[in-house]
Amino acid sequence: MAQIRAFKGIRPVRSKVHLVATRPYYSYKKNVLKAKLEDNPFTFLHIINPEFGAQIKTKPNSTERFLQVKQKFNDFKAADILTTDREAQLYIYRQSRAGMVVSGFFAGVSVDDYLNGSIKIHEQTLTAREDVFTNYLHTVGFNAEPVLLTYEGQAPIQKMLDTYLETRAEYEFTTTDCITHEVWLLSPTDSAVICEAFQNVPALYIADGHHRCASSARYTQQLREKGQAYPVAADYFLGYLVDEREVQIAAFHRLLKSTNGLDLKGLIAILANEGQVEILPSAQVPTQQHDIHIYMEKTWLKFRPNLHFINDQDPIETLDSFILSDLILKPIFGIIDLKTTNQVEFVPGNEPIQKMIDAIDAKKFEVAFLLHPASIADVKKVADAGLNMPPKSTWVEPKLRSGLTIYSLEA
């Protein structure tokens, strides 16, 4: 049973929404981030980077910096760049581009569902990052970037979605990455219907945002430990709930800096003992599970491991990211821990293959490994088993904008 709630969203006024909503700041290169901050006084990036242009700056991730974020947020509200809705409601958000259309709900999502395991996870979180995010929430008091959660589709929920999607959106704008963004406001009555319908959803699965979810839970737990009254809103966090059939998963490919002197002929000889190896005529991504494509010395290979190396009884050991590490990176190249090594760079599967080819040909790296993406069924099997996927196993879309609809933890 998924517990969600309507909320009074804090959001950009219609005339400025295309200027306010932004990709997360960490997704921008420094020069691009600087240009956006210089050229757009309305971007939410100014809230996240409140000291842009200041001579004296506070320490990153400090309480003092987060207080500046809070002040900038209040400045945006005072300047009527952001406004607060008068009624609690849910919000439908649709993101569209060539090859992908995703529709779902912005909602408050129960922290208790996370704590009791009704929200399923497939990734470990880092305590240090949780500490930073939890302090951030205590200081600023809002969520501006939703956790992406999937659910098994329900007919009543889809019917409501379809009904609203046929009407004119409150927001509709297209960003420079050729993605169209639309937002609809559900009436309080329809919002209540959807909240009730989600109680028939057996579980939610985190697709993206494990650290945000974990830090929200810790924030609420710390409030509870104080034994003092706090707003009901703090029992929830901002989520974007999407039918699992609409989420797209790409692989994370790997670039290896050094082969420790092993040449292509030697690699082929080793791999031939573990599976089938064939030379490919040209660059291509794997088209089926358990195929691993390799680029080295201007040559493309396809490697398919022998079946006895694949443990179908273990949801982790069937993942191609695990197989690559277990059969190749660890025993051949000594890459024991992908979290700590400086020898591997990860390339999202939505990036062009040519980027990896250029990196190898320029000798910045010596070998590239391309993987077939995991499926949402793979992710769910891992989560249902209470296990964690290897680092950088999935690149999940949609990627969401910050500042489009903000959830107050203090209301």
Tens-place pLDDT, residues 274-288? 999 999 999 999 999
| Structural domains of the chain ordered from first start | 4-249+398-408 (3.90.1530.10), 252-372 (3.30.1760)
Q: What is the pLDDT of residue 26?
A: 86
Spatial distance between the Cα atoms of 139 and 29, rounded to a whole number of angstroms? 27
- Res 55 pLDDT > 90: no
Can you read off the two tokens belonging to residue 190?
A: 């329809």
Q: What is the pLDDT of residue 10?
A: 98
* DSSP 3-state percent helix, strand, coil across the chain (nearest 5): 35, 25, 40
Q: What is the pLDDT of residue 307?
A: 86
Continuous segment of H or E residues that includes residue 67: helix 63-78
- Res 56 pLDDT > 90: no
Q: What is the pLDDT of residue 272?
A: 97
Can you read off the two tokens belonging to residue 355?
A: 């980027």
Q: Are 51 and 66 in contact (CB under 8 A)?
A: no
- Res 148 pLDDT > 90: yes
Q: Which residue shows structure tokens 């400090």?
A: 62
- Res 309 pLDDT > 90: no
- Global confidence as pTM: 0.94
If phi > 0 it is left, if psi is from -120 to 50 it is alpha, else beta; for residue 221 that is: alpha
When pLDDT is cut at 50, 70 and 90, the band that residue 134 belongs to is very high
Q: What is the pLDDT of residue 163?
A: 98
Q: Averaged over 210-223, what is the pLDDT? A: 97
Q: Averaged over 395-406, what is the pLDDT? A: 96
Alpha-helical runs (H) found in 50-177: 63-78, 111-115, 127-140, 155-165
Q: Averaged over 385-406, what is the pLDDT? A: 95
